[in-house]
Amino acid sequence: AQSVTQPDIHITVSEGASLELRCNYSYGATPYLFWYVQSPGQGLQLLLKYFSGDTLVQGIKGFEAEFKRSQSSFNLRKPSVHWSDAAEYFCAVAPRGNEKLTFGTGTRLTIIP
Amino acid sequence: KAGVTQTPRYLIKTRGQQVTLSCSPISGHRSVSWYQQTPGQGLQFLFEYFSETQRNKGNFPGRFSGRQFSNSRSEMNVSTLELGDSALYLCASSSGGTLNNEQFFGPGTRLTVL
């Protein structure tokens, strides 16, 4: 069965510092990969996705993610965080051609001034 | 384009009751998926409907059911509510073609079971 691991439950970074959120997946074949963000009381917003091709994916709000097949990882990065980036971040996978998303447990991001 | 809407936003029920949640997808989207979000279990897939047919199903008991109408609106029903059913229920819509499509999420319905 496919699974997604986000090893960091909570991360605190200073405003303006760089950010990397980790995501590892377990799946027989390369799935579709996603990062979503959830602000308190809100639904999920897609930050970026990887289907195929270039392994460095650019998303919204200045985020990027790199797919590394050898490490089964899809880590999310941002060079300089803003206070408005404080939220919960979810990595997700889906089998190719299937709408069913499997989510990681999420990483809560706190930004300090 | 209007986003995914879910009604009601908040709901309080007691154990043993049943509840129906509604989801209106983005215009033109034919796939609607439902997810349950709890602090303990995280985000879990319930089911997906495409063109009025259940296309995918997660590992939830039969008390959880759904349907989709010809206008792609979807409802989710939970019968014989249990305390553990307290959760944020999210629905997501996509165009639902053969290639995986971006899913757009609604704000969710917060269900509290007392």
pLDDT in tens, A29-44: 878 999 999 998 788 9
Question: Which residues does chain B have within 8 Å of residue A96's beta carbon, measured at their own beta carbons?
Answer: 100
B10-15, long-range: CB within 8 Å, 24+ apart, which pairs? B10/B109, B10/B110, B10/B112, B11/B109, B11/B110, B11/B111, B11/B112, B12/B111, B12/B112, B12/B113, B12/B114, B13/B81, B13/B111, B13/B112, B13/B113, B13/B114, B14/B81, B14/B113, B14/B114, B15/B81, B15/B82, B15/B83, B15/B113, B15/B114
Average pLDDT over residues B31-57: 94
> Is the distance from CB of B95 to CB of B31 less than 8 angstroms?
yes
Rounded distance, CA B103 to CA A75, Å?
A: 20
Please report the pLDDT score of residue B100 as a whole number.
Answer: 59
Peptide bond between residue B8 and the one before it cis (omega within 30 degrees of 0): yes
**Structural tokens at position A87:** 């939220």
Please report the pLDDT score of residue A97 as a whole number.
Answer: 73
Minimal C-alpha gap between B114 and chain A (Å): 21
> For B30, which residue in chain A has the nearest alpha carbon?
A99
**What region does A83 belong to: left with phi over 0, alpha with psi -120 to 50, or beta?**
alpha
Average pLDDT over residues A17-32: 91
Minimal C-alpha gap between A41 and chain B (Å): 7
Average pLDDT over residues B75-100: 90
Please report the pLDDT score of residue A99 as a whole number.
Answer: 76
pLDDT band at B86 (very low <50, low <70, confident <90, very high): very high
Test B35 with A46 for CB contact under 8 angstroms: no
Q: Exposed, middle or buried by CB within 10 Å (0-12, 13-18, 19+), for A5?
A: middle
> For A3, which residue in chain B has the nearest alpha carbon?
B44
Minimal C-alpha gap between B31 and chain A (Å): 8
How much of chain B, in percent, has pLDDT values that exceed 70?
95
Average pLDDT over residues A51-64: 94
Test B45 with A102 for CB contact under 8 angstroms: yes
Flag whether residue A45 sits within 8 Å of chain B, measured between CB atoms: yes
Indicate the average pLDDT of chain A.
93
Place of tokens 């970074």: A13
> Is the distance from CB of B106 to CB of B5 less than 8 angstroms?
yes
pLDDT band at B97 (very low <50, low <70, confident <90, very high): low
Please report the pLDDT score of residue B99 as a whole number.
Answer: 58
Test B100 with A99 for CB contact under 8 angstroms: yes
Test B43 with A32 for CB contact under 8 angstroms: no
Test the B interface: residue of A5, A52, A99 with most B CBs within 10 Å? A99
